[in-house]
Amino acid sequence: MINMTILFNKSRKYEIKLKRLKKEDEEKKNNIVLKSKKAYKRKEKDNSISKNLNLLIKKFSRFLKYKNKSLILSKSYNKKDKK
Confidence of residue 78 (pLDDT cuts 50, 70, 90): low
- Which tens digits make up the pLDDT trace of 27-64? 777 666 666 666 667 777 777 778 888 888 888 888 88
Closest listed residue to residue 13, CA positions, set 2, 21, 23? 21
Confidence of residue 79 (pLDDT cuts 50, 70, 90): low
What predicted TM-score, i.e. pTM, was given to this entire model? 0.37
Q: What is the 3-state secondary structure (H, E, C) of the chain?
A: CHHHHHHHHHHHHHHHHHHHHHHHHHHHHHHHHHHHHHHHHHHHHHHHHHHHHHHHHHHHHHHHHHHHHHHHHHHHHHHHHHC
Can you give the pLDDT at residue 60?
87
